[in-house]
Amino acid sequence: MGGVNQSVTSDFLLVGLCSHSGSCPLLFSLVAAMFIVGLLGNTVLLFLICMDPRLHTPMYFLLSQLSLFDVGFPLVTIPKMASDFLQVESSITFGGCAAQIFFLTLLGVAEGILLALMSYDRYVAVCHPLRYPVLMRRQVCLLMVGCSWTAGVLIQTSITLHFPYCVAGMLNASIQTSITLHFPYCASHTVDHFFCEVPALLQLSCADTSAYELALSISGVLILMLPLSLIAISYGHVLRAVLRMRSEEARHKAFTTCSSHITVVGLFYCAAVFMYMVPGAYHSPQQDNVASLFYSVITPMLNPLIYSLRNREVRMALVKLISRSGLRPK
């Protein structure tokens, strides 16, 4: 071992949100409420898109995939955090930690790429409306969604195989992963985070992680900045086209639809850039917890509200569903 103090325990200890807050029950209740609201909101949005024929369009198909990601994100972290709080037990096994890292990275990369593809959809709809049925036909939409998932899998597999803690990583056809973690880490197994995230875990390693941290920063630039560049270019063209529109109604509709997407992009990317592109020396564990809470719970909760409240078609589909269920008098 060369005098390095290493441990053979199979568990990590998650510090959680309560270590930085004096009102743990209140904080837990708030997070649980946001988790439930987000889960219900995204489920309802998925159901509406599936059931209402007026929402069977490319834009809503992509939006349904975003809702699917927003259902998965909180499910990876919040149930474990709730279990730790209720049982006063905050340990997590190597396998559990590996699963969280895998699925969070998979969903995060896939959602980032999906948001860029959604901006392309808006670009085609506004700038090339006559060619929209051809450019955004069903096969293209399926290819877009497949690319977002595949990119997430490939990037996550690469990260897993080069992760300093990990000796082997295997991904099967059903995106199941069997990961064996063998890595050098210091005597402390306390992760100053409420779930297993790469930046927090890197601080526990006894090995020199500078090369991996550099690779992580470079991959962060590629994963985050390339989609952001596509989004900026797409909406640059959209803005120019909208300003040229003579119809006030058409201009208002385009602004409403695109502003909803831009809001979602801002919420997701601001937190992700803070976590993976700002050097760790410039933010504290408390700030990391807030940023992670933002993109893993708050953003998935807000997305369905943003699209439902600002989107006339979704509101009409919801009213129609409520009327059919008999909850509203005819």
The whole-number average pLDDT for the span 303-314 is: 81
Output the six-digit token pair for 78.
């919040």
| Stated pTM of the model | 0.81
Check residue 45 and give its pLDDT: 92
Domain assignment present for residue 3? The answer is no
Output the six-digit token pair for 139.
């096969």
Is residue 328's pLDDT more than 60?
Answer: no
Check residue 170 and give its pLDDT: 31
Asked if 112 contacts 78 with a C-beta cutoff of 8 angstroms, the reply is: no
Amino acid in the structure at residue 51: M
- For 9-39, the pLDDT digits (tens) are 567 788 767 665 556 778 888 889 999 999 9
The secondary structure of 183-203 as a DSSP string is: --B-S--EESSSS--HHHHHT
- For 41-58, the pLDDT digits (tens) are 999 999 999 988 889 999
Check residue 258 and give its pLDDT: 80
Asked if 51 contacts 321 with a C-beta cutoff of 8 angstroms, the reply is: yes
User: How many Å apart are CA 186 and CA 6, to the nearest integer?
Assistant: 5
- For 66-105, the pLDDT digits (tens) are 999 999 989 998 988 888 777 766 788 877 887 887 788 7
Domain assignment present for residue 182? The answer is no
Is residue 4's pLDDT more than 50?
Answer: no
Q: What's 232's domain CATH number?
A: 1.20.1070.10
The 3-state DSSP class for residue 109 equals: helix
- For 108-154, the pLDDT digits (tens) are 888 888 989 999 998 999 899 999 999 999 999 998 888 887 765 55
- CA dist 116 → 28, 62, 119, 122 (Å): 33, 11, 5, 10
Amino acid in the structure at residue 229: S
Check residue 36 and give its pLDDT: 94
Cα torsion for 319, 320, 322, 324, to the nearest 10°?
160
The whole-number average pLDDT for the span 221-238 is: 86
Contacts of 86 (CB under 8 A, 6+ apart): none
Is residue 303's pLDDT more than 50?
Answer: yes
Structural domain range at position 85: 19-171+199-325
Domain assignment present for residue 194? The answer is no
Q: How many domains does the chain have?
A: 1
H/E run at residue 179? strand 177-181
CA 116, distance to chain mean position in Å, is 13
Q: With bands split at pLDDT 50, 70 and 90, how would you rate the model's confidence at 208?
A: low
End-to-end CA distance of the chain: 76
In the block, residue with structure tokens 């009213």: 319
The whole-number average pLDDT for the span 159-187 is: 39
Check residue 8 and give its pLDDT: 45
Is residue 166's pLDDT more than 60?
Answer: no
Domain assignment present for residue 178? The answer is no
User: How many Å apart are CA 195 and CA 290, to the nearest integer?
Assistant: 12
Is residue 171's pLDDT more than 50?
Answer: no
Output the six-digit token pair for 74.
């909180």
For the chain, what is the mean pLDDT? 77
- Burial status of residue 132 (CB atoms within 10 A of its CB: 0-12, 13-18, 19 or more): middle
Look at 299 and 180; give whichever has higher pLDDT: 299
User: How many Å apart are CA 72 and CA 74, to the nearest integer?
Assistant: 6
Look at 314 and 168; give whichever has higher pLDDT: 314
Q: Which of 117, 101, 296 is nearest to 216 (CA)?
A: 101
Domain assignment present for residue 222? The answer is yes
Q: Given CA atoms 210, 215, 219, 222 in this order, what sign does their dihedral have?
A: positive
- For 271-298, the pLDDT digits (tens) are 888 877 776 666 677 778 888 888 888 8
Output the six-digit token pair for 49.
């898109």
